[in-house]
Amino acid sequence: MAGNLYGDVVNITKDYLGPAAERFISRQIEFHLKKKPEELTKEDLPKLVEWVRVSIALLTEDSKMVDDCVSRISKLSN
């Protein structure tokens, strides 16, 4: 997995989506941010977090899970 920040985001997301996390995050980055996953920067995280929130919310009604996931990803920008 190239890109340390990308790897961190994928590792967090794996706790919620399992093995589908890497494909899910790479598609979010490529489609919504128009860049390669390894080009992800901390400045991209707010926009990525919003897309992850919307996309995971479509998969589950567990709002606490969605909030936990995006909160953990958001902390990576610190």
**pLDDT tens for the 78 residues of the chain, in order:** 445 999 999 999 999 999 999 999 999 999 999 999 999 999 999 999 999 999 999 999 999 999 999 999 999 998
Distances (CA, A) of 73 to 26, 60, 65: 14, 18, 13
The domains of the chain are located at 4-77
Asked if 2 and 66 touch (Cβ cutoff 8 Å), the reply is no
Kindly report the pTM of this predicted structure: 0.91
